[in-house]
Amino acid sequence: MSTPISESRAVRSPKELVAAGLVAPSREAEIEAVAREFSVAITPEMVALIDSAAPTDPIARQFVPDGAELERAPEELADPIGDQRYSPLKGIVHRYPDRVLLKPHHLCPVYCRFCFRREQVGPGGEALSEVELGAALDYIAGHSSLWEVILTGGDPLLLSPRRLAAIIEALDAIPHLGVIRIHTRIPVVDPDRVTAELVASLVAEKAVFVAIHANHPREVTAKMREACRRLNGAGIPLLSQTVLLKGVNDEAATLTALFRALVAIRVKPYYLHHPDLARGTAHFRPDLAAGRRLVRALRGRVSGLCQPTYVLDLPGGHGKVPVGPSHAKEGEGGEWLIEDLDGHRHSYPPSDIEIGGSPR
């Protein structure tokens, strides 16, 4: 398999982080210890967004290593969502009946400090060989229950347009597939890579969706908007995934600004992820109850277009489930008690007819 595009422009080493003014010289040894455990890379686009004078800058918090990453909470796991448990062969994760992950490689343009695959991604991560990629594609073709393939990794848009086009073409030729989805940070962290050639490589007969990872409204830059315009212009629908992160976006005003900025450029907020139990990430995880209150604060006060589903990927590979607040509760007499957006409860009558027409 051809090598993904070079990432040489990124700031990678502790010395480079110090030279860029992102880390104080007195912390270089601390950062070196983190870098021995987890990969480090920050693109120039993200470096330019960081306010080094702000000790709690939300962009820096996402990408600049911190000694807290070396602290492991008892509940944290090396494989928090069970990728390995559901990987029948290299490059494939088959957790749900109708969907499968295809991971061509494990390189990323940036390495998020909260990443749930932080034990796998990085320059040492293995890319699929031609034979291994062929076996993965054969697996997908041989399972007629599969309807959707999600290209992830690593960031699939680091592949060369030629290599990416070959994968999309192979998936497009599998009759039982309906959707090809691509998970990427590229339009946000390295938007210049979203060239006309790369966009053309994604066009297929099947529906191709691109899900963009964005966590803070400052990430929606002019270049990011232009990258999204190129993708939208080719007829590719755009979704967004956001991770709820303490000290980054755990305020209603921040999420409101982010989701509105995304919708304004035709990116539909899809998932708001509660952080996974990845090793060394406890300092990013808000309490689940706090997350539910935050999501509740958005309902009715922000357009429905700006409302992602708040989800938790259960540890051990048991799947992704919605964990947002419920406004409905069944009363003792069978009636429903529905709480409005101001917290007032209203009675709603039960039905005597079940779905399908049979009496209850």
Known catalytic membership, residue 228? no
Average pLDDT (115-123) is 94
Contacts of 226 (CB under 8 A, 6+ apart): 191
- Catalytic residue, chosen from 9, 15, 99, 223, is 99
Known catalytic membership, residue 329? no
What is the model's pLDDT at position 125?
72
Tokens of 252: 């209603």
Known catalytic membership, residue 279? no
Helix (H) or strand (E) holding 240: strand 238-243
**DSSP-assigned beta bridge partners for residue 210:** 182, 238
- Catalytic residue, chosen from 103, 117, 193, 279, is 117
Average pLDDT, the chain: 94
Known catalytic membership, residue 115? yes
What is the model's pLDDT at position 351?
78
The pLDDT of residue 3 is above 80 = no
Lowest mean pLDDT: which of 127-141, 195-209, 318-332?
Answer: 318-332
- Catalytic residue, chosen from 66, 79, 190, 276, is 276
- Catalytic residue, chosen from 9, 96, 260, 268, is 96
User: pLDDT confidence of 126, banded at 50, 70, 90?
Assistant: confident
- DSSP per residue over 303-339, as a string? -GGG-PEEEEEETTTTEEEE-----EEE-TTS-EEEE
Tens digit of each residue's pLDDT (9 = 90 or more) over 316-337: 899 999 999 999 999 888 899 9
Q: How many CB atoms lie within 10 A of CB 248?
A: 21
The pLDDT of residue 359 is above 60 = no
Beta carbons of 255 and 214 less than 8 angstroms apart: no
Fold of 14-322: TIM Barrel (3.20.20)
Tens digit of each residue's pLDDT (9 = 90 or more) over 138-195: 999 999 999 999 999 899 999 999 999 999 999 999 999 999 999 999 999 999 999 9
Task: Give dist(CA 103, CA 112) in Å, integer.
Answer: 18
Report the alpha-carbon angle 69-75-81, nearest 5: 85
**DSSP-assigned beta bridge partners for residue 152:** none
**DSSP-assigned beta bridge partners for residue 11:** 42
Sketch the domain layout of the chain as residue ranges.
14-322, 328-360
Known catalytic membership, residue 276? yes
Known catalytic membership, residue 95? yes
Known catalytic membership, residue 225? no
Tokens of 128: 């699929």
Q: What is the C-alpha R_g of the chain?
A: 22
Known catalytic membership, residue 229? no
Tens digit of each residue's pLDDT (9 = 90 or more) over 7-58: 458 999 999 999 999 999 999 999 999 999 999 999 999 999 999 889 899 9
**DSSP-assigned beta bridge partners for residue 100:** 149
Task: Give dist(CA 163, CA 356) in Å, integer.
Answer: 49
Tens digit of each residue's pLDDT (9 = 90 or more) over 214-227: 999 999 999 999 99
Instruction: Enter the pTM of the model.
Output: 0.93
- 283: closest CA among 259, 250, 242, 252? 250
Strand, coil or helix: what is 178?
coil
- Catalytic residue, chosen from 61, 95, 103, 118, is 95
What is the model's pLDDT at position 328?
92
Known catalytic membership, residue 313? yes
- 320: closest CA among 310, 306, 335, 333? 310
Average pLDDT (104-120) is 96
Beta carbons of 309 and 322 less than 8 angstroms apart: yes
Burial of 63 (0-12, 13-18, 19+ CB in 10 A): buried
Beta carbons of 196 and 187 less than 8 angstroms apart: no
User: pLDDT confidence of 356, banded at 50, 70, 90?
Assistant: low
Average pLDDT (62-75) is 97
Known catalytic membership, residue 112? yes
Task: Give dist(CA 12, CA 121) in Å, integer.
Answer: 14
What's the Cα-to-Cα distance from 225 to each of 191, 221, 286, rounded to whole Å? 9, 6, 29
